Structure 1
């Protein structure tokens, strides 16, 4: 098993393929296997670096909230260990928050930016309260209440579809402690509009046509912050287009990555 140890915490990652390095940060409450469909289709042309965030997949948790800057620093430590100066950095949903945090930590390491079904704004007071309620519920009742409430919002095809069942299995594999720490970490994230407005590199913003969590209008607002950003709307997809409509998503991602000098 491939691991990088940060502050004494072993963190698992995948390193698959060859070519332009592409660091992808997964959504809540999944793990790096959420990108399996991208790896299968594109790893002959790109080198995918796929960490499991703290407490998810095969990574250990550590203490305190899993704030987005912590995920970003873990990812930078992985690049350092692999002696990779810069990479295309992308993230889905919570992974997008972490990608923006990485941009804030060290924009010079970001060769290109991919933001998928995410948003630049911080939680308001009501949003932070909902995250804390969800964190406490996970610790007291396990992850099943989260599966029941969140899963229907993630996929346009519905919870009983093949992709819905695939996602349910990934969600049920998450530890309650990791779920709680990530919810509390997301509640702490700052507004990222300022750092995006300063980013001068190539950027791709992707959103599922039927996303109800971070809908198309939010993606348009996000893309408008970044000079020259491409906006792609994936038909027939909800909040996780890389898993629900992988062929269309892979086509969009491949076209963007191919435009970045290796």
Structure 2
């Protein structure tokens, strides 16, 4: 098992393939294995660096709220440990928030940006209140009480689909403490509209056609902020487009990465 220690926390990661480095950051309640279908299809041409973010998969949580800046600093420390000066940085949902935090922290490390089923807006007061309620629910009632309500929102195919069952399995393996820390960390994230408007690098924005959490309109908003950004809508997919429609997702990702390599 590959790990890198950051502030004494051993963070698990996968390092697969060769070529252009691509750092992928996963969605809330999942882990790095959620990118297995991208790694399997494309690692012959690109080098994928895929961590389990703090509190998820095989990476311990550590202390305090899981702020997006903390996740970004973890990812930068991983790139440092691997002697990677710059990489394409991408993320799904919460991983997109962390990718934007990394861009804010050290834009020189971002060779290209992939934002999938995510958004650039900060939570409003109602959104922050909802996340705090979810954090409290997890701590009081356990992970299952949150995950069973979340998974139906993630997938167009529904929770009983193979991808839905896997998302449920990963979510149920996440501790209530990690769920609460991540919800509070996402609630405190910064608005990134100005950040994207200043970014001049290659950008791919991807969204599932049926994403109800960060719908197509939010993807269009991000793409409109970055000059030359590509917007790709994945037919038949929900919020986890890379898992639900991997062939379509891999095609647009491969096209984007090939333009940089």
TM-score by length of 1: 0.98
Q: Which residue number corresponds to residue 188 of structure 1?
A: 188
Q: Which residue number corresponds to residue 2 of structure 1?
A: 2
Q: Which residue number corresponds to residue 106 of structure 1?
A: 106
Q: Which residue number corresponds to residue 239 of structure 1?
A: 239
5+ residue gaps, structure 1, are none
Alpha-carbon displacement from aligned partner over 1:29-74 (angstroms, at most 9, x marks no partner): 1100000101111111110000111111111111110000000000
Q: CA deviation at 1:110?
A: 0.2
Greater Cα shift, 91-100 or 166-175 = 166-175
Partners of 1:151 and 1:35 in 2: CA distance: 17
TM-score by length of 2: 0.99
- Structure 1 counterpart SS, 2:260: coil
5+ residue gaps, structure 2, are none
Greater Cα shift, 39-48 or 168-177 = 168-177
- Structure 2 counterpart SS, 1:190: coil
Q: CA deviation at 1:149?
A: 1.2
Q: CA deviation at 1:165?
A: 1.0
Q: CA deviation at 1:79?
A: 0.4
Partners of 1:85 and 1:200 in 2: CA distance: 18
> Moved runs in structure 1, 4+ residues, more than 4 A?
none
Number of residue equivalences: 261
Q: CA deviation at 1:169?
A: 1.0
Partners of 1:103 and 1:15 in 2: CA distance: 21
The reply to whether residue 92 of structure 1 matches residue 92 of structure 2 is yes
Q: Which residue number corresponds to residue 215 of structure 1?
A: 215
Q: CA deviation at 1:145?
A: 1.4
Alpha-carbon displacement from aligned partner over 1:79-112 (angstroms, at most 9, x marks no partner): 0010000000000000000000000000000000
Q: Which residue number corresponds to residue 163 of structure 1?
A: 163
- Structure 2 counterpart SS, 1:44: coil
Q: Which residue number corresponds to residue 64 of structure 1?
A: 64
Superposed CA RMSD: 0.7
